[in-house]
Amino acid sequence: MIHKEGSTTISITLAVLFAINAIVQFLLPEMVLVQNIFLILSIGLLIIVLQFFRNPKITPTLGENLVISPADGKVVVIEQVEETEYFKEKRLQISVFMSPFNVHVNRNPVGGLVKYFKYHKGLYLVAWHPKSSTENERTTTVIETKSGVQVLFRQIAGALAKRIVWYVKEGQHVAQADEMGFIKFGSRVDIFVPIGTKINVELNQVVKGGRTVLAELK
C-alpha cells in the first residue's frame, strides 16, 4: 500500500522520468544502449520513491502503560535531558532515527488527550546533530494518558526531510498506534517520558513503528 502523502511526489516523479526518457529517445534514436541505461536508472529511481512512501498494514502493540515506537528506525539516543519547551524539567529522551529506506509513517506512542501541539519552523541540520531537536523544523505533541501521565514526542526534519505532515491538534483524543503524521525523506523522532520510566530498548536497536515497546510507564 502506498501512503497518501506520496501521491503528488510519485506523480511528479513519473512525469519527469517519462519526459527524460522521451527526450533521450528523440535526441538519440539510434543509441539503444544509452536509452536502456536511462530506462533502467529511471525504473530504479521510481522503485526507491515507491518504497519510501510504502504504508504496510501492521498489528500494533497496545497497552495503556506502554510507550510504543512512533516510527520505524534505529534508537540513537537514550539519555536524561532538560526538556525546555513544555515540561521545563528533566525527562528521559529516546530518539529514533529514520533512514530514507524506513517506513516514514509516524504513529501515536500512547493514546489519550492531546494536551499540547506546536509546529516550529527551523533549520535542516542532519538528524543526528545534537541541536536538531531544538533548532530544526519540528512539531511537538504532548499526549496525556487516561492515568494522567504525559508523554511528549517530536517529529524532526533532517537535512533531506523538508516537509513534516501532522494529523493531530490540541484537545483531540487519539488512539495509540494510529497515524499522527509523516516526515518525507529521512529524519528522526524524539520521545520524552518521566524520570524513572522503565526503558525497554538499547542504543542502536532497530525498532518498528506501532509495534516495538520503547518504555513502560509507572
> What letter does residue 56 receive in the DSSP assignment?
-
Is 83 strand, coil or helix?
Answer: strand
Burial of 116 (0-12, 13-18, 19+ CB in 10 A): middle
Q: Active site residue: 42, 69, 132, 187, which one?
A: 187
Long-range contacts from 55-61, C-beta under 8 angstroms, 24+ separation: 55/1, 55/2, 55/3, 55/103, 55/105, 56/1, 56/103, 57/1, 58/177, 58/208, 58/209, 58/210, 58/211, 59/211, 60/107, 60/176, 60/177, 60/210, 60/211, 61/177, 61/210, 61/211, 61/212, 61/213
Concerning whether 187 is annotated as a catalytic residue, the answer is yes
Please check whether residue 193 is in contact with residue 94, taking contact to mean a CB–CB distance below 8 angstroms: yes
C-alpha cell at 58: 501492521
Strand ranges for 58-149 from DSSP E: 66-68, 73-83, 89-98, 105-107, 112-120, 138-144
Q: Catalytic site residues?
A: 187
